[in-house]
Each structure stands twice: as structure tokens, then as C-alpha cells.
Amino acid sequence: MKKWLRKDASAAMLFLVPSGIGFALFYLIPFVMGVYYSFMSQLVDGHFVGLDNYVELLGSGSFRKAASNTFYFSAVSVPLMVMLSLGLAMLLNKNIYIQKWLRTAYVMPLVVPVASIIMIWQLLFDWNGSLNAWLNSYGYERVDWMKTESARGVVIMVYLWKNIGYNVILFLAGLQQIPKDYYETARIEGAGRLRQFRSVTLVYLTSTMFFVVIMSIINSFKVFRETYLIAGDYPHDSIYMMQHYMNNMFASLDIQKLTAAASLMFVCIMLIVLVLFAIERRHRQYME
């Protein structure tokens, strides 16, 4: 048995080597080099400056604006994403007539090219777009959606529309793993729908919800692509995200600020994930 396990482990390692080399070459090594450059005065013939780049970064008004907008966006969009995707998954888990069509509809945004998506949203929210035309036809004034505070709501809508299908699939898979007997037992003992949802559904969806929350947070930090295509390099202040700041630093070849901002962003995401892991672990121990 030991020999078989050793052979199996060796085969697994051989299959993992190509992926490991690719991960190290395109992700791990560039990240380590980026952290190294964040402590240097310049790329070529630079000298070690300690935390000076980070101090200068934290003193930058544009960085603070980008960081606050990014965290505000995540704090608002992630809970909305989890609640909406869970509600839709519970709806699709029931036997309704158009169940298969709805499942297909929620998956479609995942396979549609981003350029096509952005073109539709631009046609919808442009100054001369469809939404303003509808508002104008009912006597309301046109709204410059992407040049006012409304841009934040537009980006949140794009984020939800783009990513909700993936989370619905995950929640739907989790719901289908819960035995029906648990609900029948709770119903016999007099538990209402709210109590069943709190004591059965949420309890057995803990692992799935944990994964969904992590993926939603990561995706909220990656909303730059859609925002950049809709609003350009310098969007309205309310949707100026961390990715915009780093993109602008790259365009101006300010690599020290770019790498420092990327390192801080990585640390923040890592801390959030570690806290979520700790909460999930304590909840699992409590359930056991």
C-alpha cells in the first residue's frame, strides 16, 4: 500500500510540474519581483528606501480615493450579490415551468464576450442612450449616468449582472445537496419557512456561502475591466478604483507606486480571506 501511495504521489507531482512552472513563471516570480521593487528607489540602479514608497503612496490623494471607492464598492456589491444569488437559486430549486430557461439565462453573461456586454451597457446608459430616451419620453430630464454619482450604481449593476449567474450555480448545487428529510422533519416539529431557512438552509450552505463570498470579493476587485471599457482611463470620481490608479501609474511608468499599491491590495485581500477562513472554521467547530 505504501509503495502504491508513493507511486501515486510521484505521478501526481509529475502532472503538477507543468502547472507549477507556469504559475511560478507568470504569477509567483513577477509578484515577488513587484514586492522587491516596491522597496527600491527605481528599477535600474536603484537603492533600498524601506517604506518610503508606501508612505508616499498613503499620502497620495488619488490613491486614498481609489482605495475608499474600491472598498465601498466591495462592501455594497458583495452582500447584494450573495443575497440576490441565494434568492434566485432558491427560486430555481423549485419546480417551476421555465426553470431550464431561467438557468440558461443566468449562465449566459458568463459566456458572452466582454466587448459585447460593454457595448450594450453603453447604448443603455449613454447621454443619448435608450434609458434616457425612455425617461425623456415620460417627461423626465436626461441623466448623465457615467459623469455623475449614478456611475457607481451603473458599475454595481454591471458587476451583479456579469457575476450573479456563477454564484447562482454554486448555491443551486449546494441546495440540491440538502436532504429533503431535514425540511420535512422541521415542518413536523412546527418550524415555519423562516425558521427552516435559518436552521436548515443557511446551516448546510455555510461552506458554499463561504466560497461564494470569497469569489465575490475577488471579482469585486476585478471590476476594472468593465469600468475601464465603459468610462475610460479617468472615470467619474465615484468609480475611480484601485485598478484605475495602478493602470495610470503603469502608463506614467511610476513602477514604485504601482508595485506598492499592488502589494497593499494583496495584503488587504489576504487579510479579508484569512478572517473569513477563521469565521468558517469556528462555525464548523461549533456545528460539530
Q: Where do we find the cell 425623456?
A: 136
How far apart CA 11 and CA 21 sit, in angstroms, is 16
Cell of 85: 444569488
Q: Count other Cβ atoms within 10 Å, centred on residue 42.
A: 11
Mean pLDDT value of segment 136-141:
82
Confidence of residue 79 (pLDDT cuts 50, 70, 90): very high
Tell whether 257 is covered by a domain: yes
3-state secondary structure of 40: strand
Residue 51 is predicted with a pLDDT of: 86
CATH number at residue 258: 1.10.3720.10
Tell whether 29 is covered by a domain: no
How far apart CA 250 and CA 235 sit, in angstroms, is 17
Verdict on whether the full-model pTM lies above 0.75:
yes
Residue 81 is predicted with a pLDDT of: 92
State pLDDT tens for residues 253-285: 888 888 898 898 888 888 988 888 888 788 777
Ranking 20-29, 73-82, 162-171, 183-192 by mean pLDDT, the lowest is: 183-192
Contact 251, 167 (CB under 8 A): no
Tell whether 229 is covered by a domain: yes
Residue 141: burial class (beta carbons within 10 Å; 0-12, 13-18, 19+): exposed
Tell which wins on pLDDT, 133 or 11: 133
State pLDDT tens for residues 178-196: 888 888 888 888 878 888 8
Closest CA to 235 of 152, 121, 131: 152
Q: What is the chain's mean pLDDT, rounded?
A: 82
How far apart CA 216 and CA 177 sit, in angstroms, is 22
Residue range of the domain that includes 158: 60-287
In the chain, the number of structural domains is: 1
Tell whether 2 is covered by a domain: no
Q: For CA atoms 138, 139, 142, 148, give the dihedral sign.
A: negative
Contact 186, 195 (CB under 8 A): yes
Tell whether 277 is covered by a domain: yes
The answer, yes or no, to whether residue 236 has pLDDT greater than 90, is: no
Tell whether 262 is covered by a domain: yes
